[in-house]
Chain A
Amino acid sequence: VSKYVEVKFNLLPGLEKQLDREIPLAVSKTAFFVELGAESRGRRRTGAMRAGWYRVTSKESNYDQAVDAGLGMNPDAEVVGPVPTPSDNLTAYVSNAFGHTFYNEFGTSAMPADPMARPAAEEQREPFKKRIFVALTTLGK
């Protein structure tokens, strides 16, 4: 019986690189679809709120475009600052650049709630799991 194991192939570094690429991609794709889902919901009066959805990952943000597009539709809309950039590539945020969006999501004394962000995120729960599953099951392929 040999005391030694000779390594002929070491696929682990390649698999690690593949995971580092595919999992953040699944996170980023999911954020994109959450943003799209939120955009497709909600009331439309001036369109600023609908145009104001944006996503932030550790590598990209379309906050500025969302602000420009929203202000183009309603120059008086109250802009709120961007959410912080995530410190890792496994996190993404979807938010809205205009302050009145929060009150639409949860309602006010004069207006019923019209949730957009939460149903859009929930809609992506299963697709996100599938994206992660595909990334894991295609490792090394």
Chain B
Amino acid sequence: MADEASLLAKWVFDTLSGDGTIAGVVVSRIYDGAAPQNPTYPYIVFTIIPLTDDQTLGARMWANFLLDVKVVSQGRSFATHSATVSRTDVLLHDKKEVSITGGKIKYSYRDMPIHFPEKASTGVDYTHQGNSFRVGVAAT
């Protein structure tokens, strides 16, 4: 049974956590889907959004996803983590036929940037900045 979403999650986690620039900012705080309660900032959270599979003559070719990857930080400055966001773009954008354990990243490219402030009910300001990617994953 193929589980392309888990393959994608592992690729994102391994790619980001294995990069010195990213690790220098968020250490190991890279979360799949949701950050833990009372997290340390900044952190990276990614969200995998399943789309329709690509198929040919009834055979599945690969699974398509939207992938949101964002840096969440306290404060109001977007400039502080701009370089980190750019680095995630370098690591995940414009990738084709990347072999991973259990499958292949068929393609990955940026679809749009993500950039918005949040004022929590506690009065604390947060910034959310990152990118949304389109990714195709084939399981072997």
Contacts and interface: CB of A to CB of B under 8 A. Distances in A.
Contact of A113 (B68, B120, B124): B68
A110 B33 CA distance: 12
A3 B69 CA distance: 67
A107 B45 contact: yes
A106 B114 contact: yes
Contact of A122 (B45, B52, B118): B52
B34 to A, nearest CB: 4
* Interface class of chain B by DSSP: strand
A115 B120 contact: no
Nearest to B72: A109
Interface string B123-140: 010101000100000000
B49 A115 contact: yes
B60 to A, nearest CB: 15
Interface string B96-140: 000000000000000000101010100010101000100000000
A106 B34 contact: no
Contacts of A106: 68, 70, 114, 116, 128
B47 A112 contact: yes
B91 interface: no
A108 B66 contact: no
B52 A126 contact: yes
B66 A102 contact: no
Contacts of A125: 52
A109 B118 contact: yes
B111 to A, nearest CB: 9
Nearest to A123: B52
Contacts of B72: 109
Interface in A99-139: 102-103, 106-110, 112-113, 115, 118-119, 122-123, 125-126
Contacts of A113: 47, 68
B83 interface: no
Interface string A42-85: 00000000000000000000000000000000000000000000
A108 B47 contact: no
B51 interface: yes
Contact of B66 (A110, A112, A119): A119
Given A107-B68, A108-B126, A109-B126, 19 more contacts: A102-B116, A103-B118, A106-B116, A107-B47, A108-B118, A108-B120, A109-B35, A109-B72, A109-B118, A109-B124, A112-B47, A113-B68, A115-B66, A115-B68, A118-B49, A119-B51, A122-B66, A123-B51, A125-B52
Interface of A: 102-103, 106-110, 112-113, 115, 118-119, 122-123, 125-126
